[in-house]
């Protein structure tokens, strides 16, 4: 009997709580994908803009994850027992959650930052790791199918939006107002922001390539669709990083084969075939003008590359105590506006240090990497590839320094696609 299983007399109640908690976890995963920040805003929920209750500032998927943890706490007898049990299994994640308590307290009380940023960006993925690892094989299989369908539909919608000009979520949020997008050609699709789409597609593609539970033909088709859609989302850094990752994977596999490693004929044939087919498809698409807007975005980036260099000037004339302990939220926003970074500093690491100082940033990063170690332990070493990709993308964008679902999505992809057989439950 596992530590979370109840005594025979309490088994019916515990069994019901387990079913409800698992159903809540599944719904949390679905809403993590299906409800983008812009979708919530379109539904009238003040998720991004100023005003509204604090309840609306936290993503519904995060609320559901916390509810599922509470239900598992009741199943274990009380929340303290549940945290002790899960902390024993995933000590790094438990430490990360404790770290987040101090980080949230410091940033909300001293720096005046919103607590919802940390709940959606960091607490949610930690809770999802605990919750998803205990899902049944059937539940995980159902979620994998949902993700395949969702990402396929998202990619198709992105291409359709690029060709027609239609936008499912045609606006950006500025302050308390909603400003309609009229000049940006990039698709918003189901995930809302173009960069959220490109980042999620990149991580999904790498998870597909590293997965051992996806048919080779299906893998090739799904990756091809996502690659086509990347052009619609315009994420230059994500596109470049994932293409380099593909090249390294292919080179590593070919080197393994050359050294005498065993391989499946079908898998090897698919790998060899993928290169010329991809090159031919790219050349045909280039000739048809499909990549014209994406190429123009690379050559005329609207000073984005310059902004990534200028962000280091934020450290100029910064006092030692500000560098170590950060500035309050209003001061940071003022400096960003004066320096031309009103839409955010395009590096998680730089934004973190500017906002909360080097000491608190190192504290947060240390806990985060302990959590990453637990995620690898719960799945497989192949998850290191997905984490490396996510970290590289985060280094070139606001990402984890803002409120978003990047890490929750990484956890979902890792557990559903990269988990070894030893970690599966019947």
Determine which of 195-209, 213-227, 316-330 has the lowest per-residue pLDDT on average: 316-330
b/e sequence 28-50, b meaning 16+ C-beta within 10 Å:
bbbbbbebbbbbbbeeebbbbbe
pLDDT at residue 17, rounded to an integer: 87
Q: How many CA atoms lie within 13 A of 361 on its CB side?
A: 19
Query: Which residues does 392 contact at the CB level (< 8 Å), separation at least 6?
Result: 241
Quick count: other Cβ atoms within 10 Å of Cβ 317?
Answer: 7
pLDDT of residue 41: 80
- CA-based Rg of the chain, rounded to a whole angstrom? 22
Q: Can you tell me the distance from the alpha carbon of 313 to that of 340, in angstroms, rounded to the nearest whole number?
A: 11
* pLDDT exceeds cutoff 90 at 413: yes
pTM for the whole structure: 0.86
| CB contact set of 330 (below 8 Å; sequence gap of 6+) | 112
Four-CA torsion 303, 304, 307, 308, nearest 10 degrees: -140
The CA distance from 266 to 357, in Å, is: 52
Percentage of residues in the chain having pLDDT higher than 90: 38
Tell me the average pLDDT across 32-61.
85
Contact 147, 33 (CB under 8 A): yes
Looking at per-residue pLDDT, the higher value among 298 and 116 belongs to 116
- Whole-number mean pLDDT of the chain? 81
CA atoms of 322 and 226, how far apart (whole Å):
43
Whole-number Å distance between alpha carbons of 318 and 324: 10
Q: What is the mean pLDDT of residues 325-349?
A: 64
pLDDT at 33 over 50: yes
**Helices within 234-311 (DSSP H only):** 236-258, 265-287, 292-299, 304-310
**pLDDT tens, 275-317?**
665 555 555 555 445 555 555 555 555 555 555 656 666 677 7
CA distance 266 to 291: 31
Question: What pLDDT does residue 426 have?
Answer: 35
What's the pLDDT score for residue 76?
82
Is the pLDDT score of 1 beyond 50? Answer: no
**Paired sense of beta strands 177-180 and 171-174, if any:** antiparallel
Question: Exposed (0-12), middle (13-18) or buried (19+): which is 175, by Cβ within 10 Å?
Answer: exposed
Region of poorest pLDDT, from 154-158, 172-176, 413-417: 172-176
pLDDT band for 359, please (50, 70, 90 cuts).
very high
- Residue 272: the pLDDT is 61
Q: Across residues 14-19, what is the average pLDDT?
A: 84
**Across 94-98, 180-184, 263-267, least confident range:** 263-267
Contact 2/426 with Cβ under 8 angstroms? Answer: no
Rounded Cα–Cα distance for residues 368 and 134 (Å): 21
DSSP per-residue string spanning 164-186: H---SS-EEEETTEEEEPSS--S
The arithmetic mean of pLDDT across residues 154-176, rounded, is 79
> Residue 110 has what pLDDT?
83
Query: Which of the two residues, 416 and 326, has the higher pLDDT score?
Result: 416
Whole-angstrom distance, CA of residue 200 vs CA of residue 404? 11
Which residues have a Cβ under 8 Å from the Cβ of 174 and sit 6 or more positions away?
Answer: none
Q: What was the pLDDT predicted at 80?
A: 87
Helix, strand or coil, per DSSP, at residue 225: helix
> What pLDDT score does 247 carry?
82
pLDDT of residue 182: 62
Whole-angstrom distance, CA of residue 84 vs CA of residue 200:
33
């Amino acid at each position: 009997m596992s530590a979370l299983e109840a005594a025979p007399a309490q088994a019916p109640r515990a069994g019901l709580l387990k079913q409800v908690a698992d159903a809540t976890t599944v719904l949390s995963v679905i809403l993590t994908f299906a409800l983008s920040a812009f979708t919530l805003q379109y539904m009238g929920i003040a998720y991004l803009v100023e005003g509204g209750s604090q309840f609306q500032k936290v993503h519904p998927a995060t609320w559901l994850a916390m509810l599922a943890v509470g239900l598992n706490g009741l199943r274990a007898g009380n929340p303290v027992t549940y945290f002790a049990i899960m902390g024993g299994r995933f000590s790094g994640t438990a430490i990360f959650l404790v770290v987040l308590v101090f980080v949230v307290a410091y940033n909300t009380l001293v720096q005046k930052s919103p607590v919802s940023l940390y709940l959606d960006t960091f607490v949610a993925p930690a809770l999802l790791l605990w919750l998803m690892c205990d899902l049944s094989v059937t539940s995980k299989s159902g979620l994998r199918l949902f993700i395949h369908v969702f990402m396929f539909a998202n990619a198709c919608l992105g291409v359709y939006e690029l060709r027609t000009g239609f936008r499912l979520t045609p606006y950006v949020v500025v302050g308390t107002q909603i400003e309609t997008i009229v000049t940006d050609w990039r698709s918003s699709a189901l995930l809302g922001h173009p960069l959220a789409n490109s980042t999620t597609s990149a991580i999904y593609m790498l998870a597909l390539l590293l997965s051992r539970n996806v048919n080779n033909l299906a893998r090739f088709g799904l990756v091809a669709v996502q690659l086509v859609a990347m052009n619609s989302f315009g994420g230059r850094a994500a596109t470049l990083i994932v293409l380099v990752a593909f090249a390294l994977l292919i080179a590593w596999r070919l080197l393994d084969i050359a050294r005498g490693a065993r391989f499946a004929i079908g898998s090897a044939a698919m790998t060899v075939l993928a290169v010329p087919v991809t090159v031919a498809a790219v050349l045909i698409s280039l000739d048809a003008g499909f990549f014209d807007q994406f190429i123009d975005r690379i050559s005329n980036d609207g000073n984005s590359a310059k902004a990534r260099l200028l962000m280091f000037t934020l450290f100029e004339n910064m006092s030692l105590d500000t560098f170590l302990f950060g500035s309050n939220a209003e001061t940071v926003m003022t400096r960003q506006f004066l320096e031309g970074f009103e839409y955010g500093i395009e590096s998680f690491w730089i934004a973190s240090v500017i906002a909360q100082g080097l000491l608190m940033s190192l504290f947060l990063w240390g806990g985060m990497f302990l959590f990453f170690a637990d995620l690898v332990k719960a799945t497989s070493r192949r998850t290191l590839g997905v984490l490396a990709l996510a970290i590289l993308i985060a280094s070139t964008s606001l990402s984890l320094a803002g409120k978003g679902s990047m890490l929750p999505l990484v956890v979902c992809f890792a557990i559903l696609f990269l988990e070894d057989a030893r970690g599966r439950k019947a």
